[in-house]
Amino acid sequence: MDFWRLFGYAKTSFYHHDSPLSLPTKTEKQTTNLLDLCKEATPICRLNPLLFNGHLQTFWTAVESQEDVPIYYKRRIFSAEDPSFAGTFAVDFVVKPNVGTDESLPPRTTYYKDVEFGEIGSMDTKPMLVVLHGLSGGSHEIYLRHVMRPIVHAGWEACVVNSRGCAKSKITTGVLYNARATWDVRQVVKWLRKTFPNRPLFGIGYSLGANILVNYLGEEGEDCKLKAAVVCSNPWNLETGNLALRRTWLGHEVYSKTMGTSMKQLFESHVEELSKNPRVDIEKVRKITYLYEFDRELQGPTWGYPTEGAYYRDASSCDSLLAVRIPLFAIHAEDDPIAVKEAIPIREFQQSPFGVLCTTSLGGHLSWFERGGGRWFTKPASQFLIQFFENVDLEKLEKTLKATARNGTSVDAKAPSSFNPMRRKLQIDVEP
C-alpha cells in the first residue's frame, strides 16, 4: 500500500495536449491556458485516511447523510420538440429557499405555477449551470448538491435536467432514457439560450450524466452553446466498464447487482407505461439481477440494439471527446470501482487541446470523502467553473475556439483517410 495513502494523501495527475487551449483573460495578463486554469482550481487531495481505497470511499456514499446540503427547486415539465424522441421530461430549477412541499416530488421540490413560469425569462447576465445526474438519480442527489452549493452561493443560476423517469418524474412513452440520451439536454440548452439570451451557460455531468454530456458536446461540436463544462467520474467506455465489473466478485455481486436493482425499481415505477411498448418483455425484465441484464432485456430491445455490447459501444463517450470544441475539465479517481481506470481515454485527452483530465490515486466513484464528511471533488469542479467565468473573456473566447478548431488537433492533415468520432451505428428514423 502507498505509504502516503495511510494519511489520506492522494496523488494528483494531469493529462492534456502538448499545447492546451489558450484562454483570453479579463486582466492585464492577456492569456492563460486551459491546463493552468484547471491546476489553479485543483487543491491538494487529502481524503479521510479511514477510507483508504476506492471500495471504502464508494461504500461510504450509502451511509452519508442525505439532508446536509439543502438546495431548493421548482420543477417544470417539458414536452419534447423532436418527434423522434416524443414524450415529456422534468427540469428542476434552483430557487431561493421556500417552505412549499409536494409529496409527489423529491424533498424541497415543488412545481412552477404556469403564470410564474411564464415570467421566468430575464435579460440578466448571471452565469447559469446545466446539470446532468448519474444513473437512476436526479436533482435530489447529494453529490450533485455538494457542487451546486458553492456555485449558487457565488450568484449563479442552475437547473437539473432529470433523465426521463428519474426523480419521481413520469414517462409518457414506452421508453426510458439511455446513455446516448442527448436530446433533452439539447432542447433545454436551446430553451435557455432563448429565455435568458445574455446568460453564459455552463455544464456539469456526473457518472452516466457525464457520459451523456460528453456525447452532447461532441454532437454539437463548434455549434455548442455552452462556454465550458466539467465531468466527474465519467465511465467513458461502457463496454470496458461492464467487462471490468463482471471480472470480480465485488464488481459483479455488489456494484452491477446494486445498479441492476436500482434500474429494476425505476422500471417497476413506470411499468404501466413501459408495458405498452411491444418490444418490452415485462417478465424478462423482472427476472434480471445485474445492470448488464437490464440493458440486455430493456435498453437493447426498446432502442433497437441487438446486444448490450452493441449498446455500450455505440453509447460510449470516449470517442466523442475528440469532437468536443469547448473547454472541458474531467475529474476522475484511478481507484474508481465503477468507472474503471482502464476505460479512461488518456490518449484522447492528449490529442485534444480542448480537454484536460485530472486523476487522483484515491477517491472512489463520485466520492472523494475528506475528514469531516466533505467531498474533495466539489472544490476543483466548482472552482474551475467560477474562476472560468470570473477570469476568462468570454467574447474573445469564441474567436479562440473557432481558430483552434480550424487548426485542428494533432491529427495529420495529410492522412489519406479521416476519423469521424461522432458517427453512430444506431439511426433514429421513426418515433421509438
Q: How many Cβ atoms from other residues are within 10 Å of residue 372's Cβ?
A: 6
All 3 cell numbers of residue 35?
491546463
Q: Distance between the two ends of the chain, CA-based, in angstroms?
A: 50
d(CA 339, CA 331): 11
- C-beta of residue 354 within 8 angstroms of C-beta of residue 21: yes
Residues found in the chain = 432
DSSP state of 252: I
Give the chain's count of helices (H) and strands (E).
17, 12
- C-beta of residue 342 within 8 angstroms of C-beta of residue 371: no
d(CA 349, CA 347): 5
Q: Which amino acid is at 125?
A: T
- C-beta of residue 299 within 8 angstroms of C-beta of residue 284: no
- C-beta of residue 393 within 8 angstroms of C-beta of residue 50: no
Q: How many Cβ atoms from other residues are within 10 Å of residue 131's Cβ?
A: 27
Q: How many Cβ atoms from other residues are within 10 Å of residue 358's Cβ?
A: 23
> Given the DSSP bridges, would you call strands 72-79 and 109-111 parallel, antiparallel or unpaired?
parallel
Helical H segments across 200-338, by residue range: 208-220, 238-247, 249-250, 257-269, 271-274, 282-286, 291-294, 300-303, 308-315
Q: Which of 16, 6, 19, 37 is nearest to 384 (CA)?
A: 37
Angle in degrees, 0-180, between the axes of helices 208-220 and 183-195, rounded to the nearest 10: 70
Active site residues: 207, 336, 365
Q: What is the CA radius of gyration of the chain?
A: 21
DSSP state of 256: I
Could you give the angle at the alpha carbon of 315 between the alpha carbons of 314 and 320, nearest 5°?
Answer: 95
Sheet harboring 201-206: ordered strands across? 12-16, 355-360, 328-333, 226-232, 201-206, 128-132, 157-161, 88-95, 72-79, 109-111
